[in-house]
A and B are shown apart, each in its own frame.
Chain A
Amino acid sequence: MADRAEYARKGIARGRSLVVLQYADGIVFVGENPSRALHKFSEIYDRIGFAAAGKYNEYENLRIGGVRYADLRGYTYDRDDVTARGLANVYAQTLGTIFSSQAEKPYEVELVVAEVGDSPDSDQIYRLPHDGSIVDEHGSVAVGGNAEQISGYLDQRHRDGMTLAEALKLAVQALSRDTNGSEREIPAERLEVAVLDRTRPQQRKFKRIVGGQLSRLLDSGAGAASAESESAAETETDSGSDEE
C-alpha cells in the first residue's frame, strides 16, 4: 500500500501545481499551463468547477465522469440538486476503489471540486488526494508538485474579501516560488485562469479569463498590491503609536 501511495504521489509531483482561492465575489482557479488546448480547470455544472493536477488522461476521464454525473442528476431532479458535496463523494468513491484495487494502478491525480455559493460563507472547496480521501478546505488550497510549500505561503497571506485582482496576484506569487525558495517570472500566456463568479447574471457561473482581460487584471493586481503594502505599513506605524 505504501508503495502505491508513493507511486501516486510521485506521479502527481511531476505535474505543475495549481491553486484555488476564494475571493470576495467567488472562487478563482490559477495554474501554470503551457497548453492552450489541454485544460486543468473545467466547468462541471452551474456553480461547480473542477481543477486537477497529475496525469492528463486520468483526470480528463474523471472530469467527463463528473460532467455526466452532474448533468444526469440535474436533468432527473433539479439544477439545484447538483452539489459539490455529492460530486466530491462520487470522486472519492471512484479514487478510493481504484487505489485499493490490486488489479489497477492507482490514479496519479489530485482533484479540487469547488462550488460557489450566494455568499463567501457558503462557498465550498474540497480537495481529493489520490487515495480517495476528502479534505474540506477554506480560503485557499494548492495541489500538485510543490503543493505543501505553496499552500504554506498562501495560508499566511490569504485573507477573506480579497478582490479578484488581489487574489490573482497572490496566486501568481505563490506559483512562481520554486522549491529552493528562488522566484521566477510566469508570463501571462503560460497562465490558465478561470473563475466561478457569483455575480454573473447567467445560471452558469464558470468563466475562463484569457487574453486582454487577464493581463489587465494582472496589471491592476500589481498596482493594488503595492498600494496595499503601503497602507499596511501605515497601520503598523499607527498601532505602534497607540501603544505609546
Chain B
Amino acid sequence: MDFLGEHQPEMLPGNRQLPPVQGVIEAPHGTTIVAVTFPGGVVLAGDRRATMGNMIAQRDIEKVFPADEYSAVGIAGTAGLAVEMVKLFQLELEHFEKVEGAQLSLEGKANRLSTMIRSNLGMAMQGLAVVPLFAGYDVDRGRGRIFSYDVTGGRSEERNYATTGSGSVFARGAMKKLFRDDLTEEQATTLVVQALYDAADDDSATGGPDVARRIYPIITVITEDGFRRLGEDEAAELAGSVLQARLEQPDGPRAALL
C-alpha cells in the first residue's frame, strides 16, 4: 500500500477528490454479516442482498471474501468501495507474505484493515461508509477470533459472536439466545443461518434464503486447516433444514425463560 501510494496514488481508495454533492449518493449497499467462534475456529457468513434505496440492486452479491489462508472479511456498506477495499487488503497480505516470507500476525492484519477503513472516512461522511467484519484463525493462539469495526476505523475484538450491517440488530439478538461456548462446527454454521434468517425476517434490506433461485447465504469456516467456503450443496442443505424447522415454528427455536 505504501508502494502504491508512492507510485500510483490515484489507485488508493482514500486519495480521491470527491465532487461536492447535495444529499446522499445512491449506490448499492451490502447488508448483514454475522460471525461466531467455536472451539477450533470461526464461522463468517453473509446474506446475498444488495440494496439501493428501497430497491433490491442485486440478489446474489457475494460479501464474504477470503483475505488469506487463515482469515476472511465480510463487508457491509457501499458495495463498490467495500469490494475494492477487500481487494487491496488481500493484495497487501499476499504481498507482505511473499516479500517477507512469513505471514502477518492476526492482530497485524486487523490493524491494517483498521487503517484502510479510516482512510475512507471522507467518503463515509458523505454516506458511502464501509463497515467490515474480520474473522480469522490465530495460528499462534490456536483459536478463532473476530474483529469488528466502526466507520472511523475503530477496531474492537469481539468475544464469541459479532454482527454488522443493517440487519445486525436482529441477527445479534438471535445469536445472543442461541450461542453456547461448546458449539461444534456444524452447529456454528447452523447458528449463523438462523441469525441471518432472523435478520431477513425483520430487516427489509437483508435477503433470506431464496429457494426458487437457489441463492443461499455464503458461509465460510476458518480453522487450523485454513479457509473453507461451504459449497452450494452444503449451504442449500443447511438453509433447507432451517427453513423446514421454521415451517413448524416461524420464529425459530425457543430459548428457556429462566
Contact = CB atoms under 8 A, between A and B. Distances in A.
B8 interface: yes
B4 interface: yes
B11 A39 contact: no
Nearest to B227: A202
Given A72-B7, A72-B8, A67 B95 contact: yes
Contacts of A67: 95, 98-99
Q: Secondary structure at chain A's binding surface: helix, strand, loop or mixed? A: helix
A76 B87 CA distance: 11
B62 interface: no
A186 interface: no
Interface residues of B, number: 13
A14 to B, nearest CB: 24
B94 A71 contact: yes
B95 A76 contact: no
A43 interface: yes
Contacts of A10: none
Contacts of A71: 91, 94-95, 98
B183 interface: no
Contact of B88 (A64, A68, A75, A204): A75
B101 interface: yes
B11 A44 contact: no
11 contacts: A44-B98, A67-B98, A71-B91, A71-B98, A72-B7, A74-B91, A75-B4, A75-B11, A75-B87, A76-B11, A204-B94
Interface of B: 3-4, 7-8, 11, 87-88, 91, 94-95, 98-99, 101
Given A68-B95, A74-B91, A75-B88, 15 more contacts: A39-B101, A42-B98, A42-B101, A43-B98, A44-B98, A67-B95, A67-B98, A68-B3, A71-B91, A71-B98, A72-B4, A72-B7, A75-B11, A75-B91, A204-B94
